[in-house]
Amino acid sequence: MKKIKIEKLNNFHQDKFNSSKFYKLDFGIENIKKDQIELTTILATLSGFSGIDIVANKESIEITNYSINKAKRKSKELKINLNQEPLIFTSFSMKSFSKLEKNQIYKKIEFLQDLHIDVIDIHLNEFDNSYNIEQLDLIGSIFEDKIISINLSRKRLSNAHMIDLLKTFRSNLRKNFIIEVEGIKFYKNDFSQILQTISTADIINKQFKQESPKYNKIPIILGNVNDNKIEELAYECNVPFNGISINYPCVKNFLENKENLCKDNKYIELINEIKKNFLKN
């Protein structure tokens, strides 16, 4: 697999992508209670997650930053070497902007410029590809100093639309971006979701990334994942990827009835359990 290159990333996170060990905790685009964000972010940071993805809400982003800093202080107490704090992704759906003019969209998201975030994660919900490209270019122009993450799923876009969108966005001189792919959720059949995600990544690899060396440097994250089983299947199917995005509800369910470990100051025990179940560092 060709080495990825994002100019705005430091060597530590570049290496995580290049070794396919970039793990992101994804809170989704819903509002989460403050105490849940804080505890889960602290544990994720101490466990070695490479990224935290939070809804584009000022309070939620500020809590995430606060929690990462709290984890850094806790790491010294526990003698854990963090190496590097996680990247902060912030997500929103373009569906909420579908009837707005450009200046209205700008007013709704300009507050993000004043917050400490690294990546703008855009969930595309429109079938109109020209509109998708127009909005991506707008967001890219507003946040020129940020990395843009494009969230793609075949439940909204055809294969051809996804490839066209990526080529157009890249040709518009946008070099610092990440691709995140999601499958189509079939009821509670997690295996179908995994197959759809890997299949989408395979299409992007073969029809986009392999077409040009400049495309090959763009990382792909397997999204909407419940655990690290998807990694094994992706390797078996010979589908390259650079990271996975693990759903918050799965981590929340895992942590239920384990919070007392924190109260009893048994952080190390809990951190090791999180690593075993979600990470393969």
Grade residue 238 by pLDDT with cuts at 50, 70 and 90.
Answer: very high
- Split into its structural domains, the chain has a count of 1
Does residue 244 belong to any structural domain of this protein? yes
Q: What is the CATH number of the domain that holds 202?
A: 3.20.20.70
- Other residues' Cβ atoms within 10 Å of the Cβ of residue 51: 24
User: Residue 263's pLDDT is what?
Assistant: 65
Does residue 132 belong to any structural domain of this protein? yes
Does residue 238 belong to any structural domain of this protein? yes
Cα(1)–Cα(224) distance, rounded to whole angstroms?
A: 23
Cα(195)–Cα(234) distance, rounded to whole angstroms?
A: 9
Side chain identity, residue 114:
D
Does residue 266 belong to any structural domain of this protein? yes
User: Residue 226's pLDDT is what?
Assistant: 82
Cα(154)–Cα(163) distance, rounded to whole angstroms?
A: 11
Share of the chain above pLDDT 90, in %: 42
User: Residue 98's pLDDT is what?
Assistant: 74
Considering the chain, what is the average pLDDT of its residues? Answer: 86
- Residues spanned by the domain of 149: 11-278
Query: Most distant CA pair in the chain: distance in Å?
Result: 55
Report CA Rg, the chain. 18
Does residue 4 belong to any structural domain of this protein? no
Mean pLDDT for 104-120 is 91
- Other residues' Cβ atoms within 10 Å of the Cβ of residue 137: 14
Cβ–Cβ < 8 Å for 245, 180: yes
- Burial class, 252, CB count within 10 angstroms (exposed 0-12 / middle 13-18 / buried 19+): middle
Q: What is the per-residue pLDDT across 138-196, written as a single tens digit (0 to 9) for each?
A: 888 888 889 999 998 877 788 888 888 888 887 765 778 899 998 766 445 577 778 88
CA neighbor of 18 nearest in space, from 210, 215, 242, 198? 242
Does residue 2 belong to any structural domain of this protein? no
Does residue 5 belong to any structural domain of this protein? no
Does residue 3 belong to any structural domain of this protein? no
Which residue has 């990334």 as its token pair? Answer: 209
